[in-house]
Amino acid sequence: MIQAPGEPLLDPESTLVDDRDDNWGETTTVVTGTSVDSISNEDLTRISKDLEDSLPLDCRRYISPVLGAILGLISVITPLAFLALPQLLWRDTLDPCGTPCEGLYISLAFKLLILLISTWALFLRPSRATLPRFFVFRCLLLALVFLFVASYWLFYGVRVLEPQETDYRGIVGYAASLVDALLFIQYLALVLLEVRHLQPAFCLKVVRTADGVSRFYNVGHLSIQRAGVWVLDQYYRDFPVYNPALINLPKSILTKKMSSFKVYNLEEENTNNSTGQSRAMIAAAARRRDNSHNEYYYEEAEVERRIRKRRARLVVAVEEAFTHIKRHQDEETATSSPKHPRELMDPREAAQAIFAPMARAMQKYLRATRQQSYHTMESIINYLQFCITHNMTPKAFLERYLSPGPTLQYLDNNRGRRWTLVSEEPVTTALRQGQVFSLKRLDFALVVKVMPLPFLDLAEEFIDPKSHKFVMKLQSETSV
């Protein structure tokens, strides 16, 4: 389903506040156009204002892996081709090549095997993000591989195929050197793509614009786009879910300030006095005795008290509900009296059975903490079933509801997440001190500020273990 740009999305991360009815109002979700994590190219072109004619989203996602796979296949087949072609084409005129060649065959075989295994381990993974610009290092490596293989083929074609070279041992050595070169390129790829950014060099401060939640992360040398992907990975795990219902100040307190003095303009010209008029109003409003902080304080205390009361009721209800149920032990069937045959329930039925007494308390608590949109009745029963199956205590069951969990807990994973990277510099530049970029979603953004980690000058001081001696602080008094 193609998502037209500009249409608002409704998903668990950005529900608008509504008054829910008493019957577990459900969120409406809309399937977005992308199916894995991606940063839509269309959003970026809207922002950067150059409309390039881009391929549809699906094709663009697959170009890079397909290209890489083709190049990889060619480069693995090339040494084998180098070995096979002379044998096929001019077998009779080849110099016989005994033990040295066989040694080279063995080493070639093992190196190719290692190359294949490490390629599988390192590169054959589903990509988790689509970046707005080219991933510079990956393009560099693909170009390097292409260059290597092409130049080897060129040399081979000119020096071996044309004159039908007879020195087979030299050809085998040539093929082995290609495999060595490929292994070294893979080492380079490992260092550039996986290892270089492991040593921490910068500290990123990530602040969510909607409610001010912030975290600090240490990263190594990355480009802005890669840093953005990394920050988003951490965001889903560390940041509590954004609840737009928890706004700081209720409007009722703020709007009281709006009533102020009326200023009548008695002079003819209006243009010059407009700023003067507003300034006069602001000054008058500031001079007035302002009691809105008082109301805010009392209202906040009241809300907190209410939440605590409902939480207490919820905890008691859940504890009581859990006492109604017990895990069935197989040995009991022999000893329990046949007077009360207890019917055996599976976890789902057990969950439904004990959900009833706690439903009302749970509902009231969720409404007090404005979380009711994140937990449907179905999801609560599912979680209850999960907890019962794994022998969790009531406290473990409640942990999910008493504190807002990380955003990842509330996502269903078969939908992609669309984020927009906003930056004043090209997104392939490396991180530098003082850079600021932001990752936007529809109703909030994450602002990321880059700070360098300080240079550490570590000095040493040796302490002899025998130097730990102590004396008593005495003040004795002796009578003489």
Q: How far is 155 from 177, CA to CA, in rounded Å?
A: 13
The set of residues, in sequence order, having a beta carbon less than 8 Å from that of 21 and lying 6+ positions away, is none
Least Å distance, CB 451 to other proteins, is 46
Q: Which is nearer to other proteins, 413 or 475 (CB)?
A: 475
Kindly tell me the sign of the dihedral angle through the C-alpha atoms of 411, 416, 419, 425: positive
CB of 469 to other proteins, least distance (A): 14
Q: Match 């609840």 to its residue by tokens.
A: 243
Shortest separation between residue 479's beta carbon and other proteins, angstroms = 4
Yes or no: say if 436 and 449 are a contact pair by the CB < 8 Å rule.
yes
Residue 358: partners with Cβ closer than 8 Å, 6 or more residues away = 314, 317, 318, 320, 321
What are residue 335's DSSP bridge partners?
none
Distance of closest approach, residue 476 Cβ to other proteins, in angstroms: 6
Which is nearer to other proteins, 462 or 470 (by Cβ)? 470
- Specify the residue, 50 or 477, whose C-beta has the smaller distance to other proteins: 477
**Is the CB of 329 or the CB of 475 nearer to other proteins?**
475
Q: Which residues bind other proteins (CB under 8 A)?
A: 473-480
Torsion of CA 306, 312, 318, 323, to 10 degrees: -160
CA-closest candidate to residue 439, choices 420, 414, 415, 411: 420
DSSP state of 216: E
Q: How far apart are CA 229 and CA 419, in angstroms?
A: 10
- Which of 198/480 has CB closer to other proteins? 480
Task: Report residue 187 CA to chain centroid gap.
Answer: 27
User: Residue 216 in contact with residue 203, Cβ under 8 Å?
Assistant: yes
Minimum distance from CB of 300 to other proteins (Å)?
51
Identity of the residue, 51 or 471, whose beta carbon is nearer to other proteins in the bound complex: 471
Least distance from other proteins to the Cβ atom of residue 470, Å? 13
Instruction: Name which of 51 and 480 has its Cβ closer to other proteins.
Output: 480
